[in-house]
Structure 1
């Protein structure tokens, strides 16, 4: 290493450290490390069917796509997974959020948004969402297990939820009374 190169190294190193520290600040220096969930209000409608989210029980979801700054909302986690896990889903996703039902009221959920990819899910419980059978979402595995003990179902991480678990028929395909 020449004398000239060794003098430039501290400047390069300082520049790299500054870049790393600034990237930790997130967008616009907000301290956030990426997109943040948007709270629903009385007028927030489902992107699929226009239903008002606040009118129905159970966990809600939202997806923030790379090509759109505002989230698309879902009145049910079943809908969220049905869209997110579609094989033809080709839009780049920046973030996926669900409500932590370990902290939110099932019958009137507010707030409690968590990263869907770090959440735990209960599939096949007796609790209903806006469209019938739904997928319970929880920030802590222990909360998901406690819910499953009380209402039935299987506890899975995000990666364990498959497209065949997220069917939007409201259970009609399995209703033998029809």
Structure 2
């Protein structure tokens, strides 16, 4: 008799226990990938160049699996993100706010690349020649464009034609 009551009692709580386990397993939603700082030996995912050896904005792409890819130039970031053959699931993209970062030695100042503003067509040089500087706000991007030239665009309006990497190493300043 006692054993039968225990089973009946346990069968009432089994659905509650399973529900609690499911909620625990799901937990809180995963926090978005946070930007990583560039180390002395951090190299570009495309060409192996050491990022700290070059001026201008850098970028990093985080995927749902594996380590993030780093890029010594925002043009490289765009060339990866805008390719139709890009198959990895991107969970975060960061670039640097060049209104706050030192152009010649940019460190930190990471911002969400998809909410940034970019200056396309400026002659200001990064690691791959003329680059596409990134800014956290439009006013800073416009100030840069007024000083150096170029057109201010949000992330969604930058096209693959604007960030063409043809010529590659021929544009490198220190190779």
TM-score bracket for the superposition, by shorter chain length: 0.7 to 0.9
Q: CA deviation at 1:67?
A: 2.0
Structure ID, larger Rg:
2
Runs of 4+ residues over 4 Å off in structure 1: 170-173
8 Å CA contact retained: 1:63, 1:71:
yes
Q: CA deviation at 1:158?
A: 0.6
Alpha-carbon distance in structure 1 between the residues aligned to 2:165 and 2:92: 22
Q: CA deviation at 1:122?
A: 0.4
**Structure-2 change in CA distance of 1:165 and 1:106 (3 Å):** same
Pairing of 1:40-59 with structure 2 (within 5 A)? 40-59=38-57
Alignment-derived partner of residue 102 in structure 2: 105
- In structure 1, stretches of 5+ residues that fail to align are 1-14, 28-32, 174-178
Count of residues paired in the alignment: 148
- In structure 2, stretches of 5+ residues that fail to align are 1-19, 171-175
Alpha-carbon distance in structure 2 between the residues aligned to 1:151 and 1:107: 16
C-alpha RMSD of the superposition? 2.3
8 Å CA contact retained: 1:133, 1:170:
no
| TM-score when normalising by structure 1 | 0.77
| 1:122 and 2:119 aligned | yes
Alpha-carbon distance in structure 2 between the residues aligned to 1:134 and 1:84: 16
